[in-house]
């Protein structure tokens, strides 16, 4: 039982650390801080909430599998039984770790439909930030290193 509590604790720690990651438009990556950016003016036509699906890099499954295998193997005093439990717990741990990683990297975002000054329209999905954008807002599209973020235009 103690080993399953350790597995649960490991999954909670992984979920907490994964939740620290962000793609908020309010956070600028170090490499983008001093780059020249292209700027375009536009108007928000519509805003709708969307969810950006979480990533599955395999790290969650690997950590979960290792923790599960060690916990399962240690749970029995009989070597053969411990090996079987280790394999089963490893598979279950890998599935749980994968799920934790996917759910902890999932993000609430918004899809913005923007009308540019030249008449062109763009659809942009970005993480929710500190600014609340609504239809009719004048905005600026900032493109840096192939990434676009939308911010309210100064008045």
Tens of pLDDT along 63-111? 777 776 676 666 666 677 777 777 777 777 777 777 777 767 677 889 9
What integer pLDDT is reported at residue 87 of this predicted model? Answer: 72
Return the pLDDT at 141. 92
Give the model's pLDDT for residue 77.
67
- pLDDT, greater one: 65 or 148: 148
The full set of domains in the chain, from first to last, is: 1-23+54-105 (no CATH), 35-52+107-155 (2.40.50.100)
Strands in 4-146 per DSSP E? 38-52, 107-116, 121-127, 138-144
| pLDDT at position 126 over 60 | yes
Q: Of 9-13, 78-82, 89-93, 140-144, give the lowest mean pLDDT range.
A: 9-13
Contact 13, 76 (CB under 8 A): no
Q: In the predicted model, is pLDDT for residue 13 greater than 60?
A: no
Task: Show the tokens assigned to 57.
Answer: 């890099």
Q: What is the pTM of this model?
A: 0.53
**Confidence (pLDDT) at 41:** 94
The CA-atom distances, in angstroms, between 152 and each of 26, 41, 46, 108, 135 are: 12, 10, 14, 20, 11
């Amino acid at each position: 039982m103690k080993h399953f509590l350790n597995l649960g604790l490991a999954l909670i720690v992984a979920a907490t650390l994964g939740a620290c990651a962000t793609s908020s438009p309010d956070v600028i990556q170090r490499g983008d801080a001093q780059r020249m950016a292209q700027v375009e003016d536009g108007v928000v036509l519509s805003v709708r909430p969307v969810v950006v699906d979480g990533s599955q890099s395999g790290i969650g499954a690997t950590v979960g599998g290792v923790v599960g295998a060690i916990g399962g193997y240690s749970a029995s005093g009989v070597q053969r039984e411990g090996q079987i439990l280790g394999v089963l717990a490893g598979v279950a741990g890998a599935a749980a770790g994968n799920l934790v990683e996917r759910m902890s990297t999932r993000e609430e975002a918004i899809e913005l439909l923007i009308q540019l000054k030249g008449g062109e329209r763009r659809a942009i999905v970005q993480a929710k930030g500190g600014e609340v954008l609504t239809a009719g807002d004048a905005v600026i599209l900032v493109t840096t290193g192939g990434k676009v973020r939308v911010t309210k235009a100064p008045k």
